[in-house]
Amino acid sequence: MNTIKDSAHQIINFNYPDSLIHFLKQTQLTIILTTYQSGKIMMIGEYENKLDIRYKSFPRPMGMYATDENIWVGLGHAIWQFSNFSAVAPKLDATKRYNACYMPMDIHFTADIDIHEMEMGDELYFINTKFSCLCVKDTQSSFKPIWKPPFISSLQPTDKCHLNGLCLQDGKPRYVTALGITDEPLGWRKNKANGGILMDIQTNEILLKGLSMPHSPRWHQGKLWFLESGKGTLSWVDIKTKKVTEVVKVPGFTRGIQLINDFAFIGVSKVRESATFSGLPITKLSKRICGIWIVNIQTGKTISYIEFTAGIDEIFAVNAVSHPTMEILGYDNEYSQTNYIVKPTKLAEVKMPESPLEMAAPFFEKGNDLFNENKKEEAIEAFQKAIDIQNDYLPAIFNMAIALGDLDRFDEAEKILLDIKERDASIVETYNSLGYIYYKKQDLQKAKENFEKAIAIKPDYEQARYSLLALEKEMQKS
């Protein structure tokens, strides 16, 4: 039994055979899966002959399409595009070799449309299940419908036929799956056990009827593959004869698949007898599992698997990328804030920071922003990073001293400023900042001496003159 815990201390238990590590090491792949039930995007790879399994928590992860360069995923009420910032990967961990680091590049808000499968061709296509249609992104609207089944009379957010699966051919949408031929709100539920269909959307021909909750059509090696989730099977269909060949049956609800060469990575879910899944053949199994099954599509033999025994019951989407060790980050980290992707055609026009001052400046600006937001502790950390890069970066030093003073950390602030004064007694800002610190410490005489020294060096120093005037009025009152 293997265990990992999420941030809420939820336990995720899983089992796997040694063959999984050998397979991942040999293929140099990382499996990526989404599970909206647990709110996670999970990565499963191999590192130094051990299983490298990690996850990131996101709101309701559903449909996903991944390449070595980008990952698109439906999260909550939006489509997120994560791009591989390859230069960031080596910086993530000094003790671990990362090959890729995916970070947010674009977030397109769709509202609640129950996004199912998506795929990138000449543009990003995605299934809008709630409105029973196929869509593309549009900058002026939540989504742009480009096709709906001919039996759907109007687009309504009522999930009439549970359109779910999508397959592209030559960069264009070609095949889809749905759970029923119905124009009624949630009408697919009435005949879900054997009302599913596989369609060619270029001709609007229904290729197969009577399927048990079909999902995930895929065109691969000249064949049209699909999952019949209610039976727990992977099959392919001869387009001309409509003959279906079952390749493998696994002990669970099959949804989400990636086909690479002769291998199928199949998502398997542990569905229970419920209103949604009642009457399905798989509910009659004595044991149903949740995990990823790796199958040889030529022989139907299981190559390996990972089974989740606690913490995750449902898999939604499955992909695999050619990065043995990868990471996914959100937008709330310093890497996503300080790294860029620029088109190759524009690289000649871009010059990244090289000198210490150029590299320190962004941290100084970040510190100023945090200071203005009254986040003094975080501002001090940012100023310190700027100083670590260039130890004589005076603007960062002065602003850090002010932030320390505002937090009543007077001794730290005083030491910093006295060190600067010892190195160079001619820097006028040092005396002005010391005057402020001594004023905060209620050492008014020292404050006065330092404001006067600042003015002596720079007679037109308005800030010091104003501070001295206010201080003298206060001293007269006392």
Domain region containing 289: 2-346
Statement to judge: residues 274 and 404 lie in one domain: no
Which 3 state secondary structure label does DSSP give 384? helix
What's the token pair of residue 292?
């990823």
Paired sense of beta strands 326-328 and 100-109, if any: parallel
Domain closes at, from 346, 379, 401: 346
Q: Which residue has the tokens 């002065």?
A: 398
Statement to judge: residues 263 and 390 lie in one domain: no
pLDDT digits (tens, 9 = 90+) for 428-467: 888 888 888 888 888 899 989 999 998 999 999 898 898 8
pLDDT at 332: 85
DSSP at 250: -
Statement to judge: residues 115 and 210 lie in one domain: yes
d(CA 329, CA 470): 49
Statement to judge: residues 51 and 15 lie in one domain: yes
Domain closes at, from 311, 346, 381: 346
What's the token pair of residue 165?
């699966």
Statement to judge: residues 31 and 56 lie in one domain: yes
Query: Domain with 446 in it: what CATH number?
Result: 1.25.40.10
Edge-to-edge strand order for the sheet containing 263-269? 2-5, 11-15, 302-310, 290-296, 263-269, 253-260
pLDDT at 365: 92
Is pLDDT at 213 greater than 60 in this prediction? yes
Find residue 50's DSSP bridge partners.
47
Statement to judge: residues 246 and 374 lie in one domain: no
DSSP string, 298-317: TT--EEEEEEEEES-----E
Statement to judge: residues 382 and 428 lie in one domain: yes
Is pLDDT at 475 greater than 90 in this prediction? no
Which 3 state secondary structure label does DSSP give 456? helix
pTM for this prediction? 0.78
d(CA 327, CA 338): 17
Statement to judge: residues 307 and 413 lie in one domain: no
Statement to judge: residues 400 and 309 lie in one domain: no
Among 4, 135, 150, 82, residue whose Cα is nearest residue 319: 82
Domain closes at, from 280, 314, 346: 346
Q: What's the structural domain count of the chain?
A: 2
pLDDT digits (tens, 9 = 90+) for 157-181: 999 999 999 999 999 999 999 999 9
Statement to judge: residues 215 and 72 lie in one domain: yes
pLDDT at 6: 60
pLDDT digits (tens, 9 = 90+) for 376-413: 999 999 999 999 998 888 889 888 888 998 898 988 88
Is pLDDT at 95 greater than 90 in this prediction? no
Torsions phi, psi for 466 (to 5 deg): -65, -45
Statement to judge: residues 380 and 302 lie in one domain: no
pLDDT digits (tens, 9 = 90+) for 347-366: 667 666 678 888 888 899 99
Query: Domain with 225 in it: what CATH number?
Result: 2.120.10.30
Statement to judge: residues 283 and 139 lie in one domain: yes
Quote the distance between the C-alpha of residue 154 and its chain's center: 33
